[in-house]
Amino acid sequence: MKSIPYRWVIAITLFAAYSIQYLDRVKTNVLNPVIAHDVGLSVSDLGTGAFLMLLFYGPSQYVSGILTDKFGAKRILIFSVIAWSVMTAWMAHIQSRDEYFFRMALFGALVGTEYVPSARILMRWFNKEGRARAQALLSWAWILTPAWASVFATQFAHAAGDWRIVFYVTAAFGVVPLVMIALLVFDRPEHYKKATPADLEYAYRDEIERGDIREGSYGDAQKQILEKHDIKFLDLFKNRSYVAVIFVDIVMQITLYGALTWIPLYLSDVFHFKLQEMGLWSALYFGAGAIGSFSSSYLSDKVFSGNRRIMILTCFIGLAPFVFLLATLNEAHPGMLAFCLCGMGFFGNMAWGPFLAVPAEIFTPEVYGKAMGFVNGAAYTVAAFSAKIFAALVVVNEAGKDYSMGWVFIGACVVMGIIAASFIHTGSGKTQAVGRTARA
């Protein structure tokens, strides 16, 4: 029986490790109604908390990208796991509004170190024939985790009669990704002593075909590639596809955190679902999202031969009608609500794998940390302000809370995503990047 290539062992390990780290954001958001009641937080306070988390999370992404390229992804990931466990345990001690704000800001700054190192490792182990699928698998960490973690958190909190115990228990889970990363993850294929010639040839196939390195000469592969294709920070913005990816990521983060932060509150306030019901309904969005993410990435890698723009456009064009439809639902209609949440989840998560692979393909995986760090940093910073905008658009009146204008705002952002995605051209972008660096 043919064994699974080690690159997929690493991809699965990073997915599992990231999933555990993502627990904090999921359970915090789904438990926000009871946390708000216990601590004394308003809808505006919750919006401010999300804003602070994302505001500090954004710059942390860029800093972690630079540190990843300089010191190695594995070291940054280990730091990230330890910081996550400490921050998760602290949430169980929150007693006041100000303490909640401070914790959310510090949480964002410290755990903004988990994504870029994970993606950087995948970009080196996978070539262009598998990058979108590898990234889609990693994206399941923030798509599938809410599908099961929202149910776990709400059921656990309900059974225990206390939301704080959920944070204590999940903080202890941090030992699992710590051990997994330490034992199974390697920054580069040549660092893994049991890597086969096939593993190395696959990882460096793009560079071998371009003539950057010779097949079998992997000892100083990073140095050889950077001698020809190192990119200065300002040179990133000379590539139109890279700039387009920044705007695509902004829309993706606004959509993701719109779902994570506001769907549980929307279901609670508008449809008056109980805590247990809310977790199950929220899971519909994320379950459909996992299917949309991986199917899209498979098509991008295998059917469209690395043309990333097609599936990114499909994501936004398909998502827009469902977001605007959700804005019109002001009374419980189970069938329509389920249709809307599944449609949003399926289309809203289709772009992850394709667009996250783009920076490695228009430049090189060796500068992916720097390139993707800025993309995510900008996206999360803008998404932070979007949380405040959404909260301001929630109308509170005698009849309750109306979230319609908040969803209209996200729908308008999705339309902007369609425009941005049309500018992505990985084929010509790669040629331009290689030409510039070769002349430098």
How far apart CA 327 and CA 321 sit, in angstroms, is: 10
How far apart CA 439 and CA 187 sit, in angstroms, is: 29
Residue 75, number of CB atoms within 10 A of its CB: 15
Which one-letter DSSP state was computed for residue 2? Answer: P
**Contact of 403 with 270, CB cutoff 8 Å:** yes
**Contact of 389 with 408, CB cutoff 8 Å:** no
- 46-60, 269-283, 416-430 — which is least confidently predicted? 269-283
pLDDT digits (tens, 9 = 90+) for 231-265: 888 899 999 999 999 999 999 999 887 887 788 77
Please give the average per-residue pLDDT across 206-222, as a whole number: 85
Please give the average per-residue pLDDT across 408-432, as a whole number: 80
- What does the block give as tokens for 354? 């394709």
Please give the average per-residue pLDDT across 271-281, as a whole number: 72
Which one-letter DSSP state was computed for residue 305? Answer: T
- Fold classification of 6-439 (topology level): Growth Hormone; Chain: A; (1.20.1250)
pLDDT digits (tens, 9 = 90+) for 387-419: 778 888 888 777 678 888 999 999 999 999 999
285 vs 311, which has greater pLDDT?
A: 311
Q: What's the pLDDT score for residue 219?
A: 81
Please give the average per-residue pLDDT across 335-364, as a whole number: 91
Query: Coil, strand or helix: which one is 251?
Result: helix
Residue 43, number of CB atoms within 10 A of its CB: 19
Please give the average per-residue pLDDT across 274-289, as a whole number: 77
Q: What's the pLDDT score for residue 18?
A: 92
Output the CA angle 268-165-160, nearest 5 degrees.
70
Q: What's the pLDDT score for residue 1?
A: 45
Tell me the CB-side half-sphere exposure of residue 196, using CA atoms within 13 A. Answer: 8
Query: What is the torsional sign of CA 126, 132, 136, 138?
Result: positive
- What does the block give as tokens for 89? 């345990």
Phi, psi of 396 (to 5 degrees): -105, 120
Q: Which residues are CB-contacts of 195 (< 8 A; sequence separation ≥ 6)? A: 6, 189
How far apart CA 101 and CA 42 sit, in angstroms, is: 12
* Amino acid in the structure at residue 174: G
Question: Could you give the C-alpha distances from 189 to 145, 183, 185, 250, 357, in angstroms and in order?
Answer: 28, 14, 10, 32, 18
Match 């300089």 to its residue by tokens. Answer: 70
Confidence of residue 276 (pLDDT cuts 50, 70, 90): low
Domain ranges of the chain: 6-439
The secondary element (H helix, E strand) that includes residue 50 is helix 43-71
Question: Could you give the C-alpha distances from 280 to 14, 30, 277, 338, in angstroms and in order?
Answer: 26, 11, 5, 11
Match 């915090």 to its residue by tokens. Answer: 28
Q: How many residues make up the chain in this entry?
A: 440
How far apart CA 56 and CA 53 sit, in angstroms, is: 6
How far apart CA 160 and CA 158 sit, in angstroms, is: 6
Q: Which among 19, 24, 32 has a CA at the least distance from the CA of 264?
A: 32
Q: What's the pLDDT score for residue 427?
A: 54
Whether the pLDDT of residue 437 is over 60: the answer is: no
Question: Could you give the C-alpha distances from 409 to 251, 269, 311, in angstroms and in order?
Answer: 11, 19, 23
Helices and strands, counts by H and E, the chain: 20, 2
Match 């170190």 to its residue by tokens. Answer: 113
Confidence of residue 435 (pLDDT cuts 50, 70, 90): very low
Tell me the CB-side half-sphere exposure of residue 71, using CA atoms within 13 A. Answer: 11
pTM (two decimals) = 0.81
Average pLDDT, the chain: 86
